[in-house]
Amino acid sequence: MQIKTPKTHRGKRELEKRAPKLVENGKKTLILHGTKTSAVLNTVLTEIYHLKRGSAIKYSKKNDNIRPFESGGETSLEFFSLKTDCSLFVFGSHSKKRPNNLVLGRTYDNHIYDLVEVGVDNFRSMESFVYDKKLTPKIGTKPFFAFIGDNFESSEELKHLKEVLLDLFRGEVVENLNLAGVDRVFMCTALSSTTVFMSHCALRLKRSGTSVPRMELVEVGPSMDLVVRRHRLPNESLKKEAMKAAPDQPKKIKNVTSDVVQGKVGTIYIPDQQVGGMPLSNKVRGLKRERRVAKKNNSGGEDQSKKRKANPE
C-alpha cells in the first residue's frame, strides 16, 4: 500500500471541495443525452443548461450505454456523476416508444437515488418569447417556485416530480438574500394526474404604495408540458440515510454546573427506594424451606387423588 496525496495545493483544494461535508455546497447538474435525440430535446437540454449555468455541466457526445431505469445501464452514469461531482442529472433520449424523453434523477454518494421520466410536449423555447429585455433574469439568481394543483399531493408521480424539480432548479441554499435580486419564477401547474405545465417567468416588481411591491409575471420561457412516464422512488433505507441532517448544537448537559471553588459539580437525583414493591427472588432460604414443607404435606393428598382417577378402569 502506498499513500497518495495531491502534488499541488490546487489539487488538494479540488479534492476537499468534493469531500462529504456537514453543510453541503449546492448540487451540480449533469446534462447529457443518449444515442438519439430530437431537435426539441436538444433545445430543451440546452435551455436547461442555460437556466442552470454556473452549476451545470453539459456533455455533447452521445452515450450508447446509459439506460437509467435498467439494471446495468446506470454504471456509466454513476461514473460520470463521480467524475464531474454532479448529483443531479438530466438525461435526454428520443425513441419511437418514448419520444422526447427526459430522465431527471438524483444521486446519493454517486449512486442513483431516484428517477423520474417525463415526456416533453408543447415546448416553446426562450427565443420564441417577446418581452422587454430589461426583465431578463440574471444568471445564478435564486428562483421562486409556484406549484399549483391538488395533483401534486394526490398523485404519487407528481409528488415525486415536484420534489425533483425543486431540487433541480432551486440552486444553493442561502441564508442571506438580496431582495433586489429576485427576478425569476418557476411556475408548475398540474393539468392532470400525470401532466405538468412548467413555465419559466421573469418577475416585474411594481410599486404598490406599501413596502411590499406588487408582483407581475412575464413569461420568458422555456415553457413545456411534462408528462410523467416512469418513475422510481428511492428505497426506504437509502432515503432514511440520505435525509440525515447535520447534527445541530451539542445536546444540553443537564445537572452539571461549574463552580469557581469546587470546579465541576454534578447533581444526582435518586428516586425513593420502593421496598414494598420489590420482587423477592426464589432463592430466599426461608421461603424455600416453607415450600418444601408445603410440598411434603401436600404430596400424600395428591397421590390419593391420582389413584382415584385411575381407579374406574
Partner 1 sequence: MAEERSRSYQIDLGNLMAYDPSHHFDSIPSSREELIMVCLQKGTELVQEIANALFSLPSTEDPDGPIIKLPPPTTKLPREKHLPKPKPLTKWELFAQMKGIKKHKKNKRVWDEQTGTWKRTHGYDRANDDKDIPIIEAKPTDEPGEDPFAKRKAEKKQRVDKQEKNRLENLKKAAKVGALPSHIQLAATALPVTGTQKEAPKKASKEDLENVAGFAATATASGGKFDKKLPGEKPPKHTGKYRKFLPVVEGKGMGAQEKQQTEKILNQLLAKSSHEILDVNKAVTMFNVKKEKQRKKEKETSSSTPSKLKTKKKPLKSSSKKPVKKSSKTKH
User: In the complex, what is the shortest distance from the CB of residue 38 to partner 1, in angstroms, rounded to a whole number?
Assistant: 21
User: In the complex, what is the shortest distance from the CB of residue 279 to partner 1, in angstroms, rounded to a whole number?
Assistant: 40
247 to 276: interface string for partner 1, x by CB under 8 A: ------------------------------
In the range 9-38, which residues lie near partner 1 by CB under 8 A? 11-12, 15-16, 18-22, 24, 27
In the range 153-182, which residues lie near partner 1 by CB under 8 A? 153, 162-163, 166-167, 170, 173-182
Cα separation values, 233 from 67, 91, 236, 237, Å? 16, 17, 9, 12
When asked if residue 106 is in the footprint of partner 1 (CB under 8 A), the reply is yes
Look up cell 470546579; give the residue: 263
Kindly tell me which residue out of 57, 126, 191, 227 binds partner 1, with binding defined by CB under 8 A: 191
User: In the complex, what is the shortest distance from the CB of residue 53 to partner 1, in angstroms, rounded to a whole number?
Assistant: 19
Distance of alpha carbon 140 from alpha carbon 297, whole angstroms: 93
Kindly tell me which residue out of 70, 97, 212, 283 binds partner 1, with binding defined by CB under 8 A: 212
Q: How many residues does the chain have?
A: 313
Cell reading at 230: 416512469
Whether the CB-CB separation of 226 and 161 falls below 8 Å is answered with yes
Kindly tell me which residue out of 246, 253, 260, 310 binds partner 1, with binding defined by CB under 8 A: 246
In the range 72-101, which residues lie near partner 1 by CB under 8 A? 87
Whether the CB-CB separation of 246 and 138 falls below 8 Å is answered with no
Whether the CB-CB separation of 200 and 223 falls below 8 Å is answered with yes
Q: Which stretch binds partner 1 (CB under 8 A): 41-49, 67-75, 199-207, 253-261?
A: 199-207
User: In the complex, what is the shortest distance from the CB of residue 152 to partner 1, in angstroms, rounded to a whole number?
Assistant: 7
- AA identity, residue 17: K
Q: Which stretch binds partner 1 (CB under 8 A): 89-97, 237-245, 254-262, 268-276?
A: 237-245
Cell reading at 265: 459539580
When asked if residue 197 is in the footprint of partner 1 (CB under 8 A), the reply is yes
- For β-strands 88-93 and 29-33, DSSP reports them as parallel
Report the residue number, 92 or 143, with the smaller CB distance to partner 1.
143
Which residues have C-beta within 8 Å of that of residue 256, sequence separation ≥ 6? 264, 265, 266, 267
Kindly tell me which residue out of 53, 75, 95, 109 binds partner 1, with binding defined by CB under 8 A: 109
Distance of alpha carbon 198 from alpha carbon 278, whole angstroms: 68
Identify any residues that bridge with 124 across adjacent strands, giving them in sequence order: 223
Report the residue number, 8 or 282, with the smaller CB distance to partner 1.
8
Whether the CB-CB separation of 68 and 115 falls below 8 Å is answered with yes
